[in-house]
Structure 1
Amino acid sequence: MLDATRQLAVVTGASTGIGLQLARQCAEHGFDLIIAANEPEIEKAAEELRIGSSSVETVQADLATIEGNEALFRKIGGRPVAALLANAGRGLGKAFLDQDFDDIRYVIDTNVTGTVYLVHKIGRDMRARGEGKILITGSIAGYMPGAYQAIYNGTKAFIDSFSYALREELKDSGVTVTCLMPGPTETEFFERADLMDTKVGTQAKDSPLDVAKDGFRAMMAGDGGVVSGWQNKMQAAIANVVPSETLAHQHTKMAKPGTAETKR
């Protein structure tokens, strides 16, 4: 059971990758944890995270659905959430018109609907208490039109914008909102998104541990956002001045099927 005297962090998408590393940062800094994902690997993650005096409880639920998010909310059981790390997300490669619409809908529901619903539920409780920290995983993908990843990049553009808007609304409430914006990171994301025949899927990527450390530090400091990695910072800065049509063309070179780099 969770210790009622310790602060509670809730981390979604925590079975692998950035989410697992974010949960590890929370555990190492003295939070009790509720971690959630839609796959049984969440139990293995919990075993890895039970370090020191941290308690870890799990929820295996589909966070693309209202029902899945309600299951997570029931697990919280009214306990004050000190930190919500909303990291659950899905990608989808290939051309938009070649994608199955059920897959398209699932990406939107995971990245946008489920995230917004959970932030709405927990954020209201934080505002009522006058304290809390929210970290939302966006992406530098939100800065550019994502040819051959049109739905994913579109959802991240929403999340990046939403995070900063919510931060402004809560600026005098005691609740801070931070947007973590990584670039390509070494996780299972690219395989799940069917991007392993692309340049972005096969090139060298950032460490999820480094990304998580950047995000956790920014959240604890109450920063508005952090782009993880200096190359990604450069790419985000360039995206602010380059025409959208040019950005979409550049993205094609990274994400179009058949652009995978040959490994020597």
Structure 2
Amino acid sequence: MNVAKPLAVVTGASTGIGYELARQFAVHGFDLVVCADERRLETAAGELRRLGAEVVAVRADLALYDGVEQLHQAVAATRRPLVAAALNAGVSTGGAFLATDLADQARILDLNIASTVHLAHRLLPAMVDVGEGRLLITSSIAAHVPGPYQVVYNASKAFLLSFAEALRDELRGTGVTVTALLPGATDTAFFRRAGIQDTLLGLGDKDDPALVAAQGFAALMRGRGTVFAGSLRSRLGGYAARVLPHALTVPAYRRRSRPLRGIRPPVPHGTPLGAGPEGVRGAGEPTHGP
């Protein structure tokens, strides 16, 4: 790798917001370590190399402890200081909580929360040691609204927002900043992978992931704390979700996230893990939705 260029890490970088974030880094003169658990990652890495970046592609499942360690070791192997990281990988599963497979809900916690905390703890010390760094954590507008039919996903995004804001305060004065990116519904594979196409959220208008990424990258480089991203409609929706009472926002979210063809029955007691209702397993969503 060209040691004269700054180095950045992007997770969930095969498609959607993650790929567009990586693209922003590439066109602004960064080399990259990119990670996802999909075959599409190599194609994405090739596209980023054509933009002039040197790219290390790490195919790993960050929902696993060893997957996070694999990525961290790949970063360390570059023997270069890390200037920026965008922790963007995430997953969701739609449907009533009792009708979904517990393993799917556990994967949301493992990927969205545990991997972000784990990777931040691995990457930040080196940034603090040199007194320079930028960390982006992709949360969601959904962080501000308890989400019926996406109860664990929305809770995970609330955790990430709180984590980013608290970490930013702890790191004040170190030269390292933490930015929370809060997109709205974005035109990615999120809705298909979460099994929520058959909802008003899935059927509604969505933002361009390139726009979300450009706004997130600009906020990251300026060292901003929290940024709502996407169209004006989405950003205004984010501010409204933050200030309006849950008595108003939760019923509105329920109407948009409830399956239009009815609610699946709960998984019977004693159903083995991994044998939940058809079509609700998330496949490792690299971008973010509502």
Q: Same fold (TM over 0.5)?
A: yes
Q: Give the C-alpha shift of residue 101 in structure 1.
A: 0.4
Number of the residue aligned with 1:255: 257
Question: Which amino acid in structure 1 is aligned with residue 143 of structure 2?
Answer: G
Listed as ranges, the matches of 1:132-143 within 5 Å are 132-143=133-144
Preserved contact between residue 131 and residue 176 of structure 2 (Cα < 8 Å) = yes
Tell which deviates more after alignment, 166-175 or 69-78.
69-78
Say if 1:28 and 1:51, in contact at 8 Å, map to a contact too: no
Task: State the alpha-carbon separation in 1 of the partners of residues 247 and 117 from structure 2.
Answer: 29
Alignment of structure 1 residues 1-264 onto 2, 5 Å: 2-76=1-75, 77=77, 78-228=79-229, 229-258=231-260
CA apart distance, 1:159: 0.4
- C-alpha separation in 1, matches of 2:68 and 2:80: 16
| Cα distance, 1:259 vs structure 2 | 6.9
Residue type matched to 2:235 in 1?
A: K
Distance in 2, Cα, partners of 1:215 & 1:134: 11
Mapped to 2, the partners of 1:104 and 1:209 lie a distance apart of: 28
Aligned equivalents of 1:171 and 1:55: distance in 2? 31
Output the amino acid matched with 1:244: H
2:36 alignment partner AA: A
Higher mean Cα deviation, 183-192 or 231-240?
Answer: 231-240
SS in 2 for 1:184: coil
Task: Output the CA distance in 2 between the equivalents of 1:259 and 1:121.
Answer: 44
TM-fit CA distance, 1:239: 2.2
Which residue of structure 1 lines up, in the alignment, with residue 285 of structure 2?
none
1:49 partner amino acid: L
- Once the two structures are TM-superposed, the CA of residue 213 in structure 1 deviates from its matched residue by 0.2
* Residue in 1 that maps onto 2:270: none
Q: Is the 8 A contact 2:7 2:81 kept in 1?
A: yes
Between the aligned partners of 2:191 and 2:73, the Cα distance in structure 1 is 32
Give the 3 Å change call, closer, same or farther, for CA 54–124 of structure 1 in structure 2.
same
Between 1:239-248 and 1:26-35, the stretch displaced more is 239-248
Distance in 2 (alpha carbons) for counterparts of 1:52 and 1:144: 38
8 Å contact kept, 2:82–2:127: yes
CA contact (8 A) 2:184 2:238 kept: no
What CA distance in whole angstroms lies between the structure 1 residues aligned with 2:51 and 2:254?
A: 46
CA distance in 1, matches of 2:253, 2:226: 23
Scaled by the length of structure 1, the TM-score of the pair is 0.95
In the TM superposition, what is the alpha-carbon distance from 1:209 to its structure 2 partner? 0.2
Aligned residues: 259
Identity of aligned residues (%): 45
Aligned to 1:82, the other structure's residue is in SS state: strand
Deviating above 4 A after TM superposition, structure 1's stretches of 4 or more consecutive aligned residues are: none
Partner of 2:281 in structure 1?
none
- Structure 1 segments unaligned to the other structure (5+ residues): none
